[in-house]
Amino acid sequence: MARNKSSAEATAPRNLRKRELAIDPYDVPDETASPKRQRRSKPPEVVSENHEDEEADGDEIGSISEPTPRKPPGRAPKQAAAKTADVQTSTPSAQRHKTVAETPVKLNGFDTPSRQNIADRSARRKSARALIDRVISDAVSDDDAEEEDIAREIYESSEDEEADQEEQRDGEEGQEPTTPSKAPGRKRKAATARKRSPTPPRDLPPHEQYFYQNKPGLTKTSNNNLSMLDLLTHDEYFSVLRQLKDPHASSIDSLQALHAKSFPQWAFELSQGFSTCLYGYGSKRRLLQNFATYLTSKIPDRNHKIIIINGYVRTLTPRDILSSLSAALPSSSSSKLPIGGSNPTNTLQNLLSHFSSSSSLTITLLINSVDSQPLRKTPIQALLSQLASHPQIRLACTADSPDFPLLWDAGLRAAFNFVFHDCTTFAAFGPAELEVVDDVHELLGRKARRVGGKEGVAFVLRSLPENARSLFRLLVGEVLAASMDSQGGGGPDGDVDVDVASVEYRMVYNKAVEEFICSSEMAFRTLLKEFHDHQIITSHKDSIGTELLSLPFRKEELESILEELTA
């Protein structure tokens, strides 16, 4: 139900609306029609009246008697409300203020404004809490976005409402200059009733900007999405890339040459027991390679070995590093080494003592991307620091992200004995360092990592037994049906990501049993695991713990997969 409504909302041309125009006139019917909304704010008429107030206010401040064509019943109470206000302006200020703002008296037998206020306030409180919860938990439930919208609207509408009341009253006071001076509380309210300026304040310091941009209600973005754009595949990416030329190539080369002039300095620092860390934007891999070449040319001694560690390789483990180190040892001692030792620290101790015993050996470790994912864990950094603090091992590394100093606490940092150099190269990252297409697709939530979309699925399924194929067909069908449901009559703009359409695990299981795809939950799980392994299915739990299954494909892809499977 909620999804129904939300998609309806999404279809409304709200994307055209700027966030500052408080409430769009076209928006109102949708919202009042939404059952949720009705549930939240008790007397629907009154709420709608409020909305009309705001809406009117959006156009012309204080135009109380603007006709509201759509809601005839709403009209009467509003006039009444206006009347109340009129009546009360003549009463002494203190009382009037109190009654209007807090507890208006019951008049004319209409639903009391007080109850309306209370309902509104509680709705507002709830929505504020919902907003806060959201910000805190950054939850990823399906209809979060929609709920958030609603909550935000309630929150903002009540803010605006206050503003309206204020302005109304101000208008009245303008007419009646004889009223006594305003109560202080009133003034404060008037001050807070500001209109948000459409342009963000300029030149805020970073922390202020953070709070400004994370204010609830400000994260409005347009509803455009990339559906019109044909996303790149790996093949296309590389074929286009091959034809591109970087206009800055010569500048980058000269920058590289500039850094290369520091090689002797770095070598000197390394020889004095410092570790160098090169940071800055751009790939520093080539620089480090050149440095390695420089070092070998400068130190022709065969007892000097250079080991290069590519931190960006996702499968890198401490064991790789240790086994390379022991391979660098002269064979006489390395033969004794239990490299296969289960415990890396164990192996490390052995290694280090062997290094100390063969004193002529020097090793230089060059680490690409020391702040990459596989190297970020503390044990690995501790291992590296232990290596670096050994007098016969030198260490130079590069760091790609601005946050790299967080990798090391004071102890590690002292063990590394780092000196840092700004080595901004602007060089492009190689395909090994940065998997551009995958990364971007992951960023966009298209999780087709290496499966390669429809073709990949077909390939995977061909290698699976018959019942797995039927299960997948069932799954695709269900997900498609679910996504249809969720858009039910949603109009042409139904391009919510199918990613959010998911089906209940339990339901799929029951259907699978019905269709004799599997007989036990065990078998069902085994089949699903196969899909998981190939990353053609994702599962997650929703807020109440129901396990949900979904497919990381777009709707069109799903359709064609289904066609292929049923064919």
Partner 1 sequence: MADMEGGTAQFEEDDHRAVYIFNPGDGDGDIQLSARPAKRRKVAKKDASKLQQPRAALSLGSEFTPLFNGLERPAAVELRKHLFETAWPVLEDGIQHVLREANRNTLDEVASFLQQDPGSQTGKIAAAFIITGPNIASQDLLFGQLGSTLCTATQARFVGLRASEAPNLKAALKKIIRDATARVVDDEEDDLELSVGQDGRKYLDYDLEALHVFLRHQHSPRRVIVAFQDSEAFDSGLLADLITLFHSWHDRIQFDVLFGIATSVELLQARLPKSTACRLHGAQFDVVQANSVLESVFKTAVAGSQASLRIGPSLLRSMVERQQHQVAGIQAFISALKYAYMCHFYANPLSVLLDIERCVDRGLLQPEHIEAIRTLDSFKHHTEAAVEARQLNHALSLLEDDEYLITQVLEQKQKQQEYLTRLLRSLHLVTSSGLNSGFFVELYMLALSTGIDLDEKSGAFFLVDGLRRLSPDEFLSLIDRISAAMRTGSPELGLEPWIADVDEFARSLADLRDEVEGLLLRSKNKGTTLKSKYSAQSRVLRTTVVAQKVQLSRDTATLTEEDNAFTAAIDTLAGLLSENLHCDSIDNLFLYEAWVYDCKTPYLDVFVPRPGATFGRSLSRPHDYLACDCCSQAKGSLTSSLPTTSILYHLYLEAGALINVADLWSAYYTLVGDESEIGLDERSALVHFYRGLAELRMMGFVKQSRKKADHIAKLKWL
- 110-149 binders of partner 1 (CB under 8 A): 140, 144-145, 148
Strand order in 503-504's β-sheet? Answer: 503-504, 547-550, 538-541
Nearest distance in Å: CB 320, partner 1: 5
442 vs 515 by CB, closer to partner 1: 442
Q: Say whether residue 167 binds partner 1 (CB under 8 A).
A: no
**Binders of partner 1 among 29-68, rule CB under 8 A?**
none
Sign of CA dihedral 242, 246, 250, 255: negative
Q: Say whether residue 285 binds partner 1 (CB under 8 A).
A: yes
C-alpha pair distances (Å), 166 with each of 41, 51, 74, 82, 182: 22, 16, 21, 13, 12
Which range touches partner 1 (CB under 8 A), out of 184-192, 237-245, 462-470, 523-531? 237-245
Nearest distance in Å: CB 88, partner 1: 42
Residue of the chain from 64, 387, 399, 457 that contacts partner 1 (CB under 8 A): 399
Which range touches partner 1 (CB under 8 A), out of 110-118, 182-190, 411-419, 501-509? 411-419
Q: Say whether residue 249 binds partner 1 (CB under 8 A).
A: yes
Nearest distance in Å: CB 19, partner 1: 10
C-alpha pair distances (Å), 157 with each of 77, 187, 191, 218: 19, 21, 17, 14
Nearest distance in Å: CB 137, partner 1: 12
CB 354 within 8 A of CB 387: no
Which range touches partner 1 (CB under 8 A), out of 25-33, 191-199, 266-274, 512-520? 266-274
* DSSP label of 547: E
Distance CA 310, CA 368 (A): 5
Residue of the chain from 414, 521, 533, 543 that contacts partner 1 (CB under 8 A): 414
Neighbours of 257 (CB within 10 A): 10
Nearest distance in Å: CB 390, partner 1: 11
CB 153 within 8 A of CB 32: no
Q: Say whether residue 377 binds partner 1 (CB under 8 A).
A: no
Tell me the DSSP string of 489-515. T--S---S-GGG--EEHHHHHHHHHHT
**Binders of partner 1 among 338-357, rule CB under 8 A?**
343, 345-346, 349
Nearest distance in Å: CB 558, partner 1: 15
Tokens of 37: 């909304």
119 vs 145 by CB, closer to partner 1: 145
Q: What is the 3-state secondary structure (H, E, C) of 163-198?
A: HHHHHHHHHHHHHCCCCCCCCHHHHHHHHHCCCCCC
* DSSP label of 399: E
**Binders of partner 1 among 214-233, rule CB under 8 A?**
214, 218-226, 229, 232
| Phi, psi angle pair for 183, to nearest 5° | -70, 150
Distance CA 104, CA 278 (A): 69
Q: Say whether residue 234 binds partner 1 (CB under 8 A).
A: no
What is the C-alpha end-to-end distance of the chain, expressed in Å? 34
Q: Say whether residue 199 binds partner 1 (CB under 8 A).
A: no
Which range touches partner 1 (CB under 8 A), out of 46-54, 110-118, 268-276, 519-527? 268-276
Distance CA 294, CA 86 (A): 88
Nearest distance in Å: CB 255, partner 1: 6
Distance CA 345, CA 64 (A): 78
**Binders of partner 1 among 441-470, rule CB under 8 A?**
442-445
Nearest distance in Å: CB 547, partner 1: 18
The residue ranges of DSSP E strands in 404-450, in sequence order, are: 418-422
Distance CA 234, CA 300 (A): 42
**Binders of partner 1 among 5-24, rule CB under 8 A?**
none
Q: What is the 3-state secondary structure (H, E, C) of 121-155?
A: HHHHHHHHHHHHHHHHHCCCCCCHHHHHHHHHHHH
Distance CA 212, CA 194 (A): 16
**Binders of partner 1 among 490-509, rule CB under 8 A?**
495-497, 499
Residue of the chain from 119, 328, 513, 523 that contacts partner 1 (CB under 8 A): 328
Residue of the chain from 188, 210, 520, 521 that contacts partner 1 (CB under 8 A): 210
Which range touches partner 1 (CB under 8 A), out of 105-113, 122-130, 395-403, 521-529? 395-403
Which range touches partner 1 (CB under 8 A), out of 167-175, 406-414, 484-492, 529-537? 406-414
64 vs 366 by CB, closer to partner 1: 366
Nearest distance in Å: CB 3, partner 1: 14
Residue of the chain from 404, 524, 531, 553 that contacts partner 1 (CB under 8 A): 404
Nearest distance in Å: CB 302, partner 1: 5
Residue of the chain from 36, 93, 115, 237 that contacts partner 1 (CB under 8 A): 237
Q: Say whether residue 235 binds partner 1 (CB under 8 A).
A: no
| Phi, psi angle pair for 53, to nearest 5° | -55, -50
Distance CA 398, CA 395 (A): 10
